[in-house]
Amino acid sequence: MSIEAAQVMSESEAPLAVTVRARRSIGRQAVIDTLARPGARLGLAWLGILAFFAVFGPFIANTHPILMKSEGHWSSPMLRSLTPVDVLLLAATGVAIVLWIGRWFSSGIGLLIVIATPIVLAPAAYLLVQPPANVDYSLYRTMISEGKVERVAFTIIPYSPSDRLRDRTDARLSPPNAAHWFGTDNDGADVFSNILHASRVALSIGFMATGISVALGLLIGGTMGYYGGAFDLLSMRTIEIVEALPRLVLLITISALARHRNIYLMMAIIGLTGFTSYARFVRAEFLSLRQRDFVQAAIAAGYPQYRIIFRQMLPNALTPVLVSTTFGVASAILYEATLSFLGLGLVDEPSWGALLEQARAGGNGFIWWIALFPGLAIFLTVFSYNLIGEAARDALDPKLRKRD
Amino acid sequence: MLSYLIRRILLMIPTLLGVSIVTFAIVALSPGGLGGSLLGPNSQLRPEERKAIMAYYTARYGIGQPVYVQYLRWLGRVSPLGPKAAGEGWPGSWKIGFKIPDLGESWQVHRPISDLLSESLPITLLLEFTSLPVIYLISIVTGIQAARSRGKVVDVGLGTFLIGLYSMPEIWIGVLMIGFLTNKEYLHWFPSNGLHDITSDAMPFMPSFGPHGFERGWLLDTAWHLVLPLICLSYGSFAYLSRLTRGSLLETLGLDFVRTARAKGLMEKTVIYAHAFRNSLLPLITVTASFLPGILAGAVIIETIFGLPGMGQLFASAAINTDRELLLALTLIFAVLLMISFLLADIAYAIADPRVSYVD
């Protein structure tokens, strides 16, 4: 959207095109350069598909019918089964689409509104949206076979991830076929439905964990680099201590000892253990930026500290950090998958890593369709982020830039 | 150099103390606290037995006392310098001094942790030290090849392939390898589990021709068991390092002295191998420090998948069973291993680059 707007601008104001191009910030130019690369486009395309699955998962794979006419009146069990999180995600996506069409999205305010929407609506959603606590998935199939349903419309894949097809004992471990595109797992649950719903877990853990890491890294690294002194020394020792253990070892220790693992805990621990590299990086940037003339001039001019830090130094340190953020998201997703694979991940929620573990240690030997497809999903997602990261790094590297 | 070494080794002590405080705090903050995991496995016992066991553990580990007291007790046992019984260690008659660290006893298997370590650590180290040369060798060869054909199809294709390779999760590749290459239903090329065959004790060490034809012997049997784990452990780092070799070599090839060498009319091979390559080695050595934690952590995954009884598998089982003593000891060993390898990487860096000097 922002790119299109910029292009439209430069075309409509042809005489001014040169100045418009020159006025683009480094960040915006980097985004444009990144998106010019085919690798980044491929990566974004896959992430777009995943994001679509993450938001519209309940509308694509659900045992609850979209519409059902039973004993004379219509109902929509699918809408009634939506959780508050489903509703909030849909609301945020709706706001984003409206902003996009209205062309307000490109500014930072648009993004803020999209992020704020679910937070503002959360209390209302948790009060108003109350899906039934106990679900009998076989109910609809029984009703249909008994002829109690006159008209019914299912989603494309009529299986929820936790629908273990208890009414159909032959459904366990069936290889990929027309009804189950990626087969079924040890319990009889549809593998495709599980992969699709797990994309939400993977994406959100990737984003939130990296967000926590970057925020902490900027805060601690920036303070270390700007003020130096005892805080710098102490923080550096702390970073060394955290880095003295492989991150996976630290994550395994924490998640093994946490009794109630949920998605928020996973986000927090993966985020908290990953701040060190960002902190080191920002510290080094701030140390060198402090010596630069424009910062010295700002200090000499008597600008307040927050202005020097946030308006002068931070924007100059931010762009390279954002590049490493894409790699950070990739590794956060990998860590989540690995923890789930070792049996230390989410409980009661579909996860790519947990599916892979079923293929290995499910007690039925090696089931290729449970091993292949979830792993492929992890791989494609991590690959996408890495491709985007590589493209962004190349776009930002002045040595590799051909134009200008 | 020597003073630098001594300073670095002394600086390890506060870091190790920090690591131990962090891990102890994690254990103490967990539900059930420090003694929490004891309640699980013993829940089948009769009340009086359970009471006796709890009394024993309370006396031994000080469970129920404040966390810092328990920490100091643990630290006193684990550290090589601390309180000891008179008559052992050095100096012999003192109550405080140097001694052999007592890592404690596993709560799950009820064996001394030092015994468990002496069995499992060699396997992990074997994995690490065989994978490192493999990683370096392959990545240097492919990296140079990519740099020589910069911008051509080979280079671009290899580049994308390598990004793909290090995006592949080890857990996926490991599971697929076991599934397809060690499985009677597909290809039964490799053993699926463990480090040796059951009959390996009876095998001669070297491969030989016996009465039953070719016998692979203990050495080849072990190597055969190690092939898949090694591939699985190495490919990610290899892909990463290969791209780094390419970048570093390309950077060096743009420098003035390379142009001089070419202007002298030297052969391209001589320019690359004798002049440019040696000068582009440095980033490869510094980066070792950044992927070593990865291989060490990779051992946890790979040993679990391939059933190798190494330290990684021991750690995974300690974590899953919340075996406090084993967890604390193993995290400490992980930290020591990692810091020693960081130190080795720094020393290698100083040897490779004459400009770097640690003499103050």
pLDDT in tens, A271-313: 999 999 999 999 999 998 888 899 999 989 999 988 888 888 8
- Among the partner-chain residues B19, B168, B172, the one whose CB lies closest to the CB of A241 is B19
Two structure tokens written together for B4: 């630098």
pLDDT at residue A239, rounded to an integer = 93
Residue A233 touches partner B, C-beta closer than 8 Å: no
Q: Inter-chain contact B18–A256, Cβ cutoff 8 Å? A: no
> For the complex shown, is ipTM > 0.90?
no
Integer Cα distance of B291 and B241 in angstroms: 9
User: What is the nearest CA distance from A383 to chain B, expressed in angstroms?
Assistant: 5
* Degrees, nearest 5: CA angle B146-B148-B153: 55
User: What is the nearest CA distance from B18 to chain A, expressed in angstroms?
Assistant: 6
Two structure tokens written together for A382: 């991590």
Is B86 in contact with B94 (CB distance < 8 Å)?
yes
Integer Cα distance of B253 and B277 in angstroms: 9
Rounded average pLDDT over A63-68? 86
Among B11, B20, B166, B167, pick the best mutation site for testing chain A contact (most A Cβ within 10 A): B167
pLDDT at residue B21, rounded to an integer = 92
Residue A362 touches partner B, C-beta closer than 8 Å: no
User: What is the nearest CA distance from A382 to chain B, expressed in angstroms?
Assistant: 6
Band of residue A12 on the pLDDT scale cut at 50, 70, 90: very low
Chain A, residues 276-335, CB within 8 A of chain B, namely: 330, 334
Residue A259 touches partner B, C-beta closer than 8 Å: yes
Rounded average pLDDT over A77-82? 85
Structure confidence by residue, pLDDT tens digits, A205-264:
999 999 999 999 999 999 999 888 899 999 999 999 998 999 999 999 999 888 778 889
Asked if the model's pLDDT at residue A108 lies above 80, the reply is no
Structure confidence by residue, pLDDT tens digits, A147-160:
888 888 888 888 88
Delineate the domains of chain B, giving CATH numbers in brackets.
Answer: 2-98 (no CATH), 113-352 (1.10.3720.10)
User: Which residue type occupies B300?
Assistant: V
Is B282 in contact with B348 (CB distance < 8 Å)?
no
Q: Inter-chain contact B176–A247, Cβ cutoff 8 Å? A: no
Chain B residues with CB-CB distance to A392 below 8 A: none
Q: Which of B147-161, B189-203, B296-310 has the lowest mean pLDDT?
A: B189-203
- H helix or E strand, kind and range, residue A74: strand A73-75
Band of residue B39 on the pLDDT scale cut at 50, 70, 90: low
Q: Inter-chain contact B320–A256, Cβ cutoff 8 Å? A: yes
Domain boundaries, chain A: 46-57+187-404
* Degrees, nearest 5: CA angle B335-A258-B320: 65
- H helix or E strand, kind and range, residue A68: strand A67-70
Asked if the model's pLDDT at residue B36 lies above 70, the reply is no
Only one residue has tokens 């396997």, namely: B123
Give the class (CATH, top level) of A46-57+187-404: mainly alpha
Integer Cα distance of A259 and A241 in angstroms: 25
Asked if the model's pLDDT at residue A24 lies above 80, the reply is no
- H helix or E strand, kind and range, residue A231: helix A229-243
Is B236 in contact with B168 (CB distance < 8 Å)?
yes
Residue B300 touches partner A, C-beta closer than 8 Å: yes
Band of residue A1 on the pLDDT scale cut at 50, 70, 90: very low
Chain A residues with CB-CB distance to B155 below 8 A: none
Is B336 in contact with B18 (CB distance < 8 Å)?
no
Q: What is the 3-state secondary structure (H, E, C) of chain B?
A: CHHHHHHHHHHHHHHHHHHHHHHHHHHHHCCCHHHHHHHCHHHHCCHHHHHHHHHHHHHHHCECECHHHHHHHHHHHHCCEEECCCCCCECCCCCEEECCCCCCECCCCCCEHHHHHHHHHHHHHHHHHHHHHHHHHHHHHHHHHHHHCCCCHHHHHHHHHHHHHHHCCHHHHHHHHHHHHECCCCCECCCCCCCCCHHHHHCCCCCEEECCEEECHHHHHHHHHHHHHHHHHHHHHHHHHHHHHHHHHHHHHCCHHHHHHHHCCCCHHHHHHHHHHHHCCHHHHHHHHHHHHHHHHHHHHHHHHHCCCCHHHHHHHHHHCCCHHHHHHHHHHHHHHHHHHHHHHHHHHHHHCCCCCCCC
Backbone angles phi, psi at A344, to 5 degrees: -120, 25
Backbone angles phi, psi at B213, to 5 degrees: 85, -150
Q: Inter-chain contact A375–B316, Cβ cutoff 8 Å? A: no
Q: Inter-chain contact A371–B175, Cβ cutoff 8 Å? A: yes
Structure confidence by residue, pLDDT tens digits, A112-151:
888 888 899 988 888 888 888 778 888 888 888 888 888 8
Integer Cα distance of A58 and A52 in angstroms: 11
Integer Cα distance of B292 and A347 in angstroms: 31
pLDDT at residue A109, rounded to an integer = 80
- Among the partner-chain residues B294, B319, B335, the one whose CB lies closest to the CB of A244 is B335
pLDDT at residue A6, rounded to an integer = 44
Q: Inter-chain contact A240–B15, Cβ cutoff 8 Å? A: yes
pLDDT at residue B173, rounded to an integer = 93
CA nearest neighbour of B301 among A295, A264, A263, A248: A248
pLDDT at residue B44, rounded to an integer = 63
Q: Inter-chain contact B32–A259, Cβ cutoff 8 Å? A: yes
* Degrees, nearest 5: CA angle A374-A380-A383: 140
- pTM of the entire structure? 0.88
Q: Inter-chain contact B176–A372, Cβ cutoff 8 Å? A: yes
Two structure tokens written together for A117: 């929407």
Beta carbons within 10 angstroms of residue B308's beta carbon: 23
CA-CA-CA-CA torsion for A390, A354, B183, B177, nearest 10 degrees?
Answer: 10
* Collapsed DSSP state (helix, strand, coil) of residue A184: strand
For chain A, the distance separating the N- and C-terminal CA atoms, rounded to the nearest angstrom, is 24
* A36 to A4, A11, A33, A394, A398: CA distances (angstroms): 13, 18, 5, 11, 16
Chain A residues with CB-CB distance to B160 below 8 A: 39
Chain A, residues 33-62, CB within 8 A of chain B, namely: 39
Two structure tokens written together for A26: 């480094």
pLDDT at residue B88, rounded to an integer = 73
Asked if the model's pLDDT at residue A3 lies above 80, the reply is no
CA nearest neighbour of A64 among A9, A144, A139: A139
pLDDT at residue A14, rounded to an integer = 43
Q: Inter-chain contact B18–A244, Cβ cutoff 8 Å? A: yes
Band of residue A11 on the pLDDT scale cut at 50, 70, 90: very low
* Collapsed DSSP state (helix, strand, coil) of residue A126: helix
Structure confidence by residue, pLDDT tens digits, B77-125:
888 887 777 777 777 777 777 888 888 888 778 888 999 999 999 999 9
